[in-house]
Amino acid sequence: MAKNVMHAVQYDGYGGGPSGLKHVEIPIPNPNKDEVLLKLEAASLNPFDWKVQKGMLWPLLPRRFPHIPGTDVAGEVVQVGPGVKKFKAGDKVVAMVNPLNGGGLAELAVTKESLIAARPPEVSAATAVGLPVAGLTAHQALIQSAGIKLDGSGKQANVLITAASGGVGLYAVQLAKLGNTHVTATCGACNLELVKSLGADEVIDYKTPEGATLKSPSGRKYDAVIHCATGIPWSTFEPNLSTNGKVIDITPGLSAVANFALGKLTFSKKQLVPLLLSPKAQNLDYLLKLVREGKLKTIIDSKYPLTKAEDAWAKSIDGHATGKIIVEP
């Protein structure tokens, strides 16, 4: 008889951190209309995952308890629901699970066909699985919010990327350099060389006095800031921005949204722009193409088996990962 249960990691309520995660055997989900069931080869964690557990997105998320966290997945299609046209059993893919439902920390997961991209054979599951949330966030921030053209056309822009050695930051540095940009980046001292090797023109240790002011060593004013760090006030950014400079906040809190509204009201040309990810499969296809061509790398901080998911969770909460944290069933 075919196995009809799977190993998954879930939590039953808000709080608890890594010790709130429970290993369970639960029924394998069935794909509904326009959905695909994947046998997972890898999942990747994002700060979003533990923020939901902490209750930082209450009352929106999660929809219900118990909740299986994880939105970034890569694996093989095992079953398709009615109406699925692009994928069939046996296809290797990378996908984003609906964050409202979760499901990534498990042996199998269901996702919508519209959030799936085919994974080229040259790109490993662990490399591909970093892309959905972190890669798409960096891409959307640069293209849509900052208006950078990644084909190198357009006038030169000065871009600052904060927390450039994190999951989003490392993709943002590489993608920004495909455009006509001068990139200044901030990160910890131990990652200065890595960030420089990925193309940043100037790298500042965020713990130094220069890092605290965010001033460009070459005296440039920033046309766009891809803000991947937290806890930096608008007053620190403002003097470093060009006339129409934008700070794109990838983890906007209520204050960022309020500042954005205030900027609109005062018609200030300098703006704080909150970014809310709008994932699209075609953008995921584009990022996978860049990876296949060697133009974009996924930097992997660490890998954990699903049986040690709580260790991966603790590493993510710690906040000092260099690149992506991968969990493999």
What token pair was written down for 267? 């018609």
Q: What is the DSSP letter of 133?
A: I
pLDDT for the residue numbered 25: 97
Neighbours of 153 (CB within 10 A): 8
Which residue type is seen at 57? L
Number of helical (H) and strand (E) elements in the chain, helices listed first: 10, 15
Say yes or no to pLDDT of 256 above 90.
Answer: no
- Tokens 């498990």 found at: 106
pLDDT for the residue numbered 253: 66
- Average pLDDT over the chain, rounded to whole? 94
Which residue type is seen at 164? A
pLDDT in tens, 83-98: 999 999 999 999 999 9
Q: Give residue 1's pLDDT band: very low, low, confident or very high (50, 70, 90).
A: very low
pLDDT in tens, 29-65: 999 999 999 999 999 999 999 999 999 877 778 889 9
- Judged by average pLDDT, the poorest of 101-110, 229-238, 252-261, 316-325 is 252-261
What token pair was written down for 235? 């007053």
pLDDT in tens, 258-276: 666 666 555 578 888 889 8
* Stretch 166-191: mean pLDDT: 97
Detail the DSSP E strand segments found in the chain: 5-10, 22-27, 35-45, 72-80, 92-96, 108-112, 116-118, 157-162, 181-187, 202-205, 222-227, 241-249, 271-274, 300-305, 324-328
Which residue type is seen at 285? D
Say yes or no to pLDDT of 243 above 80.
Answer: yes
* Stretch 282-293: mean pLDDT: 98
pLDDT for the residue numbered 257: 60
pLDDT for the residue numbered 259: 63
Share of the chain above pLDDT 70, in %: 95
Say yes or no to pLDDT of 214 above 90.
Answer: yes
Share of the chain above pLDDT 90, in %: 85
181-187 β-sheet, strand order: 202-205, 181-187, 157-162, 222-227, 241-249, 271-274
pLDDT for the residue numbered 274: 87
The pTM for the full model equals: 0.95
Say yes or no to pLDDT of 76 above 50.
Answer: yes
Q: What is the DSSP letter of 13?
A: S
Question: Taking the alpha carbons of 98, 102, 104, 107 in that order, is the dihedral positive or negative?
Answer: negative
> Cβ distance 216 to 209 under 8 Å?
no
* Stretch 171-188: mean pLDDT: 98
Question: Taking the alpha carbons of 155, 295, 290, 228 in that order, is the dihedral positive or negative?
Answer: negative
pLDDT in tens, 99-139: 889 999 999 999 999 999 999 999 999 999 999 999 999 99
Say yes or no to pLDDT of 2 above 80.
Answer: no
Nearest to 127 by CA among 313, 294, 312: 294
Question: Taking the alpha carbons of 108, 3, 80, 66 in that order, is the dihedral positive or negative?
Answer: negative
Nearest to 191 by CA among 88, 71, 87, 299: 299
Nearest to 228 by CA among 287, 286, 145: 145
pLDDT for the residue numbered 231: 86
**How far lies 241's CA from each of 157, 215, 264, 309, in Å?**
12, 10, 17, 41
